[in-house]
Amino acid sequence: MLIGRDPDRLADTVGWIADQVPGGPIRTVLADLSSLAQTRRAASEVAELAPSLDLLVNNAGVLSPRRTETAEGHELTLAVNHLSPFVLTEALLPALATAGRARVVTVGSSSSDMAAIDPDDLELRRGWFMTRAYARSKLASLMTALEIAPTLQVSGVFLNVVHPGLVATSLVRGGGPAQLAWQALGLVAFTPRQGAETPLRAALAPELDGVSGRYLKPRGTATPNRRALDPALRARVLAATRALL
């Protein structure tokens, strides 16, 4: 099952999957994951189509070249990279718990490794810069994942965060120096197929069955940002996240 905001790109993806796995059932849900209302609606549609869900991969992401707010008033980078996957995961917990042993894989980023965070300003109303906003959104996502993982594990839901490596995607758009720099980095980056390897390992590897609360990179389990290991700070970030929903 795929969630996406562009019907044409969804159709292209469905066609590609059908070529790789002929006859496999593929369902799509149309939603813009920068909108928390649409994210919740998408979760309801998914749960109706799959009341027992054994895998959720949170992969949507954005690196915005300018500070933009969504129609709901949230900073765009935070909304897509952190708030939406948090909302989607929580909304689908009943379906995930029903499966018995389910996995949640959230795609993070090594940009979070050196990032700072202010729970009182998750939206970065002060000192916004594109790479800072991206890194902080990924750190917030990592910290909340590590904070809720023990609780989810009690229900048989195992949550891990994955940095897939530098992957040549269309993450940066809109032209200008930022897109040119991103395209230059793409010359030394993983291909999308290579970048999928670590998320797929987190989703499918037998040795990760029952493993939760890990930060995974292409070479294995990694040590996250020291801030993500601070229980008091994690709790503040989780509370600040919930306050924005």
DSSP 56: E
d(CA 186, CA 171): 11
Q: Where are the alpha helices (DSSP H) in 50-187?
A: 76-78, 84-91, 93-98, 130-154, 176-185
Q: Is 215 a catalytic residue?
A: no
The residue behind tokens 């562009």 is: 6
What is the DSSP code string of 189-221?
SBPHHHHTHHHHHHHH-GGGTT--S-EEETTEE
Instruction: Tell me how far apart the terminal alpha carbons of the chain are, to the nearest angstrom.
Output: 25
Q: What is the three-state SS of 91-118?
A: HCHHHHHHCCCEEEEEECCHHHHHCCCC
Which residue among the candidates 111, 112, 134, 228 is catalytic per the annotation?
134
The torsion defined by the Cα of 146, 151, 153 and 157, in degrees rounded to 10, comes to -90
User: Active-site positions?
Assistant: 134
